[in-house]
Amino acid sequence: MKDKKIIKIYLYTRYERFWHWLQSFMIICLIVTGLEIHGTYKLFGFQTAVNIHNFIGLSWLILFAFFVFWLFTTGEWKQYIPTTKKLFSVILYYSWGIFQGKPHPIQKSKGAKHNPLQRLAYLGISAMLLPVQMVTGLLYYLYNDMLGILPLSILAVIHTLIALFLLNFLVVHLYMTTTGHSLFSHITGMITGWEEIYETTEIADWETQATRKN
């Protein structure tokens, strides 16, 4: 495999990359300020932390709507349909094969940006954790105006737990970006849009210009 040619394909569109970095910025800010509100440490001061948290939280809710719109109008939502096909081989790769220099069992392509493990993880996060975090956050924010829907203690506990799960995700996610061809190739991919893959299929001439680079 080592002699296989590495090529670049254009995987992430401009909006997608923009959204990825904006959302990551917002979520990191929310985790940092949220944990201060939680009482884990002192950084900005409680009041400032609350103001930043509420402001970014509400912005995120609004911007997320645009993302959902994009997801459905472009059909990109299909990228998140879970599959068990090859799931096991991906798990096997990360727990064993990677140490032996084996190639990744899945090659990214325009039609399948995420491997089966990623699909599952991202679906869980985008369809479960994030919406629940948004709803609990919003109810937390509007608590005084809708007393009694859910007691604050329950809202806060769910909100805190998911915040820590997202921090967990962030750790793993950041680490996984280093598992590309070089340590930074995945990150570079999300910045420029061009992701490195092994050349697998023959590409027609007309196709190379727009989507692949040698």
What are 174's two structure tokens?
């950041």
Residue 59 near which of another protein, ligand HEM, none (CB within 5-8 Å, type-dependent): another protein
Residues in the chain: 214
**Given 12, 57, 104, 194, the residue binding ligand HEM (CB under 6 A):** 57
| Closest separation in Å from C-beta 162 to ligand HEM | 7
| Closest separation in Å from C-beta 40 to ligand HEM | 8
**Shorter beta-carbon distance to another protein: residue 34 or 116:** 34
What is the number of other CB atoms lying within 10 angstroms of the CB of residue 95?
Answer: 9
Specify whether the CB–CB gap between 139 and 146 falls below 8 A: yes
Q: What span, in angstroms and rounded, lies between the C-alpha atoms of 86 and 170?
A: 24
Residue ranges that bind another protein, judged by CB under 8 A: 2, 14, 18, 22, 37-39, 42, 45-47, 50-51, 55, 58-59, 62, 94, 98-102, 143-144, 151-153, 156-157, 160-161, 163-165, 167-168, 171-172, 175, 178-179
